[in-house]
Structure 1
Amino acid sequence: MAVLTVVAVTLGVLLFTGNDDGGRTESSTAASQQRGVTHGEIGPLGALATRTPGDPLALGAVDAPVVLVEFADYRCPFCAKFSRDIEPELVERYVDSGQLRIEWRDMPIYGEESMMAARAARAAAEQGRFWEFNRALYAAAPDGGHPPMTVDKLRGFAEEAGVPDIARFTTQMQSDEFDAAIAADSSQAQQLGIPATPAFSINGYPMLGAQPTSEFTNVIDTLLEGQDDA
Structure 2
Amino acid sequence: MPKNTKPAKSTQSSKGAARSTKAGRTTSKPAAKSRKPILIGVAAVAAAAVLGIASYQATSPDAKPTVNDSASTADPAAGAHPELEKLARRDAKDPLAQGRADAPVVMIEYADFKCSYCGKFARDTEPELVKKYVDNGTLRIEWRNFPIFGAESETAARGAWAAGQQGRFWQFHAAAYAAGSKEKGFGADRVKELAKEAGVPDAARFATDLDSDAAKAAVKKDQDEAYGLGASSTPSFLINGTPIAGAQPMDAFAGAIEAAAKAKK
Q: Hey, what does 2:96 align to over in structure 1?
A: 57
Are the aligned partners of 2:74 and 2:245 in contact in 1 as well (CA < 8 Å)?
no
In structure 2, what residue type is equivalent to 1:14? A
Residues 116-195 of structure 1 correspond to what in structure 2 (within 5 A)? 116-141=155-180, 148-195=185-232
User: For 2:119, what is the secondary structure of its paired residue?
Assistant: helix
TM-score, structure 1 normalization: 0.84
Q: Hey, what does 2:14 align to over in structure 1?
A: none
User: For 2:90, what is the secondary structure of its paired residue?
Assistant: coil
Higher RCO, 1 or 2 (CA under 8 Å, sep at least 6)?
1
In structure 1, what residue type is equivalent to 2:126? E
Give 1:61 deviation, angstroms: 0.1
Alpha carbons of structure 1 residues 24 and 223: separation in structure 2 relative to 1, 3 Å: farther
How big is the alpha-carbon RMSD for the aligned residues of Structure 1 and Structure 2? 2.8
Q: Residue deviations 1:136-187, cap 9 Å, x none?
A: 1101446xx8762122211111111111111221222133331111111111
Q: Hey, what does 1:98 align to over in structure 2?
A: 137
Determine the C-alpha separation between the residues in 2 that align with 1:9 and 1:190.
14
Alpha carbons of structure 1 residues 158 and 93: separation in structure 2 relative to 1, 3 Å: same
Alpha carbons of structure 1 residues 25 and 47: separation in structure 2 relative to 1, 3 Å: farther
1:199 partnered with 2:231: no
Aligned length in residues: 219
Alpha carbons of structure 1 residues 33 and 151: separation in structure 2 relative to 1, 3 Å: closer
Determine the C-alpha separation between the residues in 2 that align with 1:187 and 1:8.
20
Q: Hey, what does 2:76 align to over in structure 1?
A: 33
Which of 198, 212, 218 aligns to 2:255? It is: 218
Determine the C-alpha separation between the residues in 2 that align with 1:81 and 1:24.
18
Structure with bigger helix share is: 1
Determine the C-alpha separation between the residues in 1 that align with 2:45 and 2:93.
34
Which of 16, 19, 27 aligns to 2:51? It is: 16
Determine the C-alpha separation between the residues in 2 that align with 1:110 and 1:77.
11
TM-score, structure 2 normalization: 0.74
In structure 1, what residue type is equivalent to 2:122? S
Determine the C-alpha separation between the residues in 2 that align with 1:66 and 1:26.
27
Are the aligned partners of 1:23 and 1:211 in contact in 2 as well (CA < 8 Å)?
no
Structure 1 gap segments, 5+ residues each: none
Give 1:25 deviation, angstroms: 4.8
Alpha carbons of structure 1 residues 63 and 9: separation in structure 2 relative to 1, 3 Å: closer
User: For 2:176, what is the secondary structure of its paired residue?
Assistant: helix
Which of 110, 116, 126 aligns to 1:77? It is: 116
Are the aligned partners of 1:8 and 1:191 in contact in 2 as well (CA < 8 Å)?
no
Alpha carbons of structure 1 residues 157 and 18: separation in structure 2 relative to 1, 3 Å: same
Are the aligned partners of 2:55 and 2:71 in contact in 1 as well (CA < 8 Å)?
no
Give 1:17 deviation, angstroms: 3.8
Alpha carbons of structure 1 residues 5 and 171: separation in structure 2 relative to 1, 3 Å: closer
Are the aligned partners of 2:74 and 2:248 in contact in 1 as well (CA < 8 Å)?
no
Structure 2 gap segments, 5+ residues each: 1-32, 57-65
Are the aligned partners of 1:9 and 1:192 in contact in 2 as well (CA < 8 Å)?
no
Q: Residue deviations 1:180-217, cap 9 Å, x none?
A: 11111111111110011110000001011101111100
